[in-house]
């Protein structure tokens, strides 16, 4: 369907929406960055071993996979959706590529197969949500079980250690460029491209309109179903890429990889300003949320806090972030009704 010309009132409303959200995003990102700086200083002064090159590099590398997934999750949340299958798709992608490489297939060819399967998973999510009308929570929850189950079936529940992988493939997860881990470079490239496209691309800007008011977006000529299909495919593809990078980093294909990645991604996005009701969020904010969660987890590790407490803290962060989001949405609704 072609985009029709919008009335002057619609144009003004979109312009007001754009300026309002731009100011909101900038304020949220600046506030989050300030919190990160303060936390960084406190950890540097109070936690032995935090301000060392090895710890900082390890922390950055540990953030990369969650950061890549958060880029895709941002698109989904902005469109008022949710994707609980990203962690399982990460595991399936790494397991499939690792299993095929272990059995003699070229690792690059195996990676293409894994990416194709990830795209298929995203396509199925998008198809059943946009065309059939399934609830995103239910559909992606089902896909989470299916993808993780296939990963377990392939490996029979045991990690598969792969040796003799192509050095070029290993470089993606273990190499460095000018002292910067390649994983961090990949995250930066993915985040910059995603952020620029989401802010500037006319097509990706439609995601905000779909998330804000799906009916109004449809009436204005936006192909809502196509947009929803696209964001779930992109989200799954990025999760699949994260799985391949995990394989490259550890040279091990394990069906337990990516456990909890979906919750960490959602937490980071909401902390960074995304709303579960859609229409709001930026990739920059999501990455800042990833950094904040990563710093908290790193501090817990350095303080010898049990890994179980780390999971508890992640859960509490998610609850607090969602609660603040709900309270903020209620305030907005009250202002609109006044």
DSSP tag of 312: H
Please, what is the Cα angle at 61 between 71 and 179, to 5 degrees?
115
**pLDDT for the residue numbered 233:** 97
List the one residue out of 260, 241, 293, 268 whose CA is nearest residue 88.
Answer: 260
Q: pTM of whole model > 0.95?
A: no
Tell me the per-residue pLDDT of 13-70, one tens digit each, with 9 for 90 and over: 454 444 444 454 556 778 888 888 988 898 888 888 888 888 889 889 999 999 999 9
User: What span, in angstroms and rounded, lies between the C-alpha atoms of 39 and 291?
Assistant: 11
Residue 6's φ and ψ, nearest 5 degrees, are -85, 145
Tell me if 59 sits within 8 A of 248, measured CB to CB.
no
Average pLDDT, the chain: 86
**pLDDT for the residue numbered 273:** 84
Please, what is the Cα angle at 86 between 203 and 289, to 5 degrees?
75
- Band (332; pLDDT cuts 50, 70, 90): low
- Band (336; pLDDT cuts 50, 70, 90): low
Tell me if 170 sits within 8 A of 255, measured CB to CB.
no
Q: Is the pLDDT of residue 5 over 50?
A: no
Where does residue 46 rank: exposed (0-12), middle (13-18), buried (19+ CB within 10 A)? exposed
Q: Is the pLDDT of residue 11 over 70?
A: no
Q: Count CA atoms within 13 Å of residue 139 on its CB side.
A: 20
Tell me the per-residue pLDDT of 120-156, one tens digit each, with 9 for 90 and over: 999 999 999 999 999 999 999 999 999 999 999 999 8
* Residues counted in the chain: 338
User: What span, in angstroms and rounded, lies between the C-alpha atoms of 142 and 135?
Assistant: 11
Helices (H), the chain: 8-46, 53-78, 86-102, 107-127, 136-155, 167-174, 182-200, 202-212, 214-219, 224-250, 261-271, 283-302, 307-337
Q: Is the pLDDT of residue 12 over 50?
A: no
**pLDDT for the residue numbered 87:** 95
Q: What Å distances lie between residue 177 and 172, 181, 185, CA to CA?
A: 10, 6, 8
Tell me the per-residue pLDDT of 262-319, one tens digit each, with 9 for 90 and over: 988 998 998 888 888 888 889 999 999 999 888 888 888 888 777 777 778 777 877 8
Tell me the per-residue pLDDT of 193-220, one tens digit each, with 9 for 90 and over: 999 998 888 888 899 999 989 999 999 8
Residue with structure tokens 């930026």?
282
**pLDDT for the residue numbered 114:** 97
List the one residue out of 210, 214, 78, 86 whose CA is nearest residue 140.
Answer: 86
User: What span, in angstroms and rounded, lies between the C-alpha atoms of 258 and 151?
Assistant: 12
**Per-residue b or e along 109-132, where b marks 16 or more CB atoms closer than 10 Å to that residue's CB:** ebbeebbebbbebbebbbbbbbee
Residue 210's φ and ψ, nearest 5 degrees, are -65, -45
Euclidean distance between the first and final Cα of the chain, in Å? 37
Tell me the per-residue pLDDT of 237-254, one tens digit each, with 9 for 90 and over: 999 999 999 999 999 999
Instruction: Name the maximum alpha-carbon separation found in the chain.
Output: 67
**pLDDT for the residue numbered 201:** 85
Tell me the per-residue pLDDT of 150-180, one tens digit each, with 9 for 90 and over: 999 999 888 988 988 899 999 999 999 988 9
Q: Is the pLDDT of residue 9 over 70?
A: no
User: Can you say how many angstroms the Cα of residue 166 is from the centroid of all Cα atoms in its chain?
Assistant: 28
Tell me if 10 sits within 8 A of 221, measured CB to CB.
no
Tell me the per-residue pLDDT of 254-265, one tens digit each, with 9 for 90 and over: 999 999 899 889
């Amino acid at each position: 369907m072609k985009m029709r010309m919008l009335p002057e009132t619609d144009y003004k409303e979109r312009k007001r929406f754009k300026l309002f959200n731009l100011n909101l995003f900038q304020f949220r990102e600046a506030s989050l960055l300030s919190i990160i700086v303060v936390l960084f200083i406190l950890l540097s002064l109070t936690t032995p071993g935090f301000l060392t090159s090895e710890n900082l590099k390890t922390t950055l590398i540990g953030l990369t996979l969650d950061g890549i997934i958060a880029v895709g999750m941002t698109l989904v949340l902005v469109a008022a959706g949710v994707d609980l299958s990203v962690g399982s798709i990460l595991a399936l992608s790494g397991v499939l590529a690792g299993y095929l490489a272990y059995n003699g297939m070229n690792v690059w060819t195996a990676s293409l197969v894994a990416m194709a399967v990830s795209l298929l998973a995203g396509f199925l999510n998008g198809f059943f949500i946009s065309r059939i009308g399934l609830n995103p929570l239910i559909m992606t929850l089902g896909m989470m079980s299916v993808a993780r189950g296939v990963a377990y079936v392939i490996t029979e529940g045991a990690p598969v250690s792969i040796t003799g992988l192509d050095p070029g493939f290993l470089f993606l997860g273990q190499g460095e460029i000018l002292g910067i881990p390649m994983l961090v470079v990949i995250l930066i490239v993915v985040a910059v491209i995603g952020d620029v496209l989401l802010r500037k691309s006319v097509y990706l800007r439609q995601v905000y309109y779909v998330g804000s008011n799906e009916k109004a977006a449809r009436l204005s000529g936006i192909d809502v179903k196509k947009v929803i299909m696209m964001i779930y495919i992109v989200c799954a593809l990025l999760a699949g890429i994260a799985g391949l990078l995990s394989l490259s980093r550890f040279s091990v294909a394990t069906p337990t990889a990516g456990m909890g990645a979906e919750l960490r991604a959602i937490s980071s996005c909401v902390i960074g300003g995304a709303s579960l009701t859609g229409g709001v969020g930026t990739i920059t904010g999501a990455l800042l949320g990833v950094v904040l969660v990563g710093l908290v987890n790193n501090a817990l590790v350095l303080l010898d806090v049990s890994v179980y407490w780390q999971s508890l803290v992640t859960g509490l962060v998610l609850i607090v972030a969602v609660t603040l989001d709900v309270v903020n949405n209620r305030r907005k609704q009250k202002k609109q009704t006044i």
